[in-house]
Chain A
Amino acid sequence: MNWKRSLIGAAIAIPVVTLLAYGLTQDPRELPNMMPGKPAPEFALPVMDAENDSIRLSDLRGEVVVLNFWASWCVACRSEHSILYDAAARYQPRGVRFYGVLYKDATGFARDWIARMGGQNYPNLLDPASHMAIDYAVSAVPETVIIGPDGKIAHKQMGVVTDSLMRVKLDSLLAVVDK
């Protein structure tokens, strides 16, 4: 009779413990990164400090595009600035298009921030109602989206990018373009 009881106990306990163990491996606060592999949502946004100039994603088809969502109030964006600056200096001559996207910020603060940081070597897009940010599932800044020449999102970095990440992702996408 004892083995029968043990068997029933195990049959109940094992699935419950397994379920709880699985639950402990999950972080309920961690946002899933759903965008890679999906077609990049279309946008047409004005360029900061360039009157009547706007950028439309559909005009960039066939090119590698880097979109960096940032704000002057974002502390982590400061440490990322030099990485993106260097990456833009290295990859823009090879055809990669870099754009900053101002997130929940005023242009005056953004201009001051850029001046304090020693400049920015790529244009910034204005998304005052955050429609583009929501389309790209941005939840906090900095976030960086890399779009491949096929128009699909190749990578979405939630948080600060690293120099090696930029090199690996952009080199692999440029290899496809060069083929």
Chain B
Amino acid sequence: MIGKLLLIASLLVPQASAPKTSPSDSLLEAQVREVGSKLRCPTCQGLSVAASPAALDMRNVIRTQLKAGKTPEEVEAYFVSKYGGWILLRPEARGFNLALYVLPGLMVLGGAVLVVVLARKWSRAGAGEVIDQ
């Protein structure tokens, strides 16, 4: 019983002593995370700016620009103007990148058409064989 109480107390104490953030701070941090999650870290290329420990400075720049009144889209555009579309973890659906978005759908559609055409052909051939018999 005492052990359980100690466990509950230990869980409660850090929450009670955690620094308080104003709603505007938490909104700003959420926006920093959102923008950072869309950008690739130039140093740790497999990680986003939000997740990479090496991208602290980039997160600070995002925070500074958002605080200065820029929209998340404007902050993203700033990084694209510096590093190109490469910096976006999700490539923009335009130009050559459009193939990434269109081709899978087209291939699925093409496969479906192929299946229908072959199925109809085989069923017709099967019906022909039955008539012949």
Which residues of A pack against B, CB within 8 Å?
12, 16, 19, 29, 31-32, 34-35, 104, 129-131, 133-137, 139-140
Contacts and interface: CB of A to CB of B under 8 A. Distances in A.
Given A19-B99, A104-B57, A140-B42, 18 more contacts: A16-B103, A31-B42, A31-B86, A32-B84, A32-B86, A34-B81, A34-B82, A34-B83, A34-B84, A129-B60, A130-B57, A130-B61, A131-B57, A131-B61, A133-B57, A134-B57, A134-B61, A139-B83
B45 interface: yes
A94 B38 CA distance: 45
A32 B103 contact: no
Provide the main secondary structure of the chain A interface. loop
Instruction: Name the interface size band of chain B.
Output: 10 to 19
Contacts of A19: 99, 103
A137 B82 contact: yes
A12 B58 contact: no
B63 to A, nearest CB: 11
Contact of A135 (B42, B82, B103): B82
Interface string B53-88: 000011011001000000000000000011110100
B57 A32 contact: no
Contacts of A35: 82
7 contacts: A19-B99, A31-B84, A32-B83, A34-B83, A131-B57, A133-B57, A139-B43
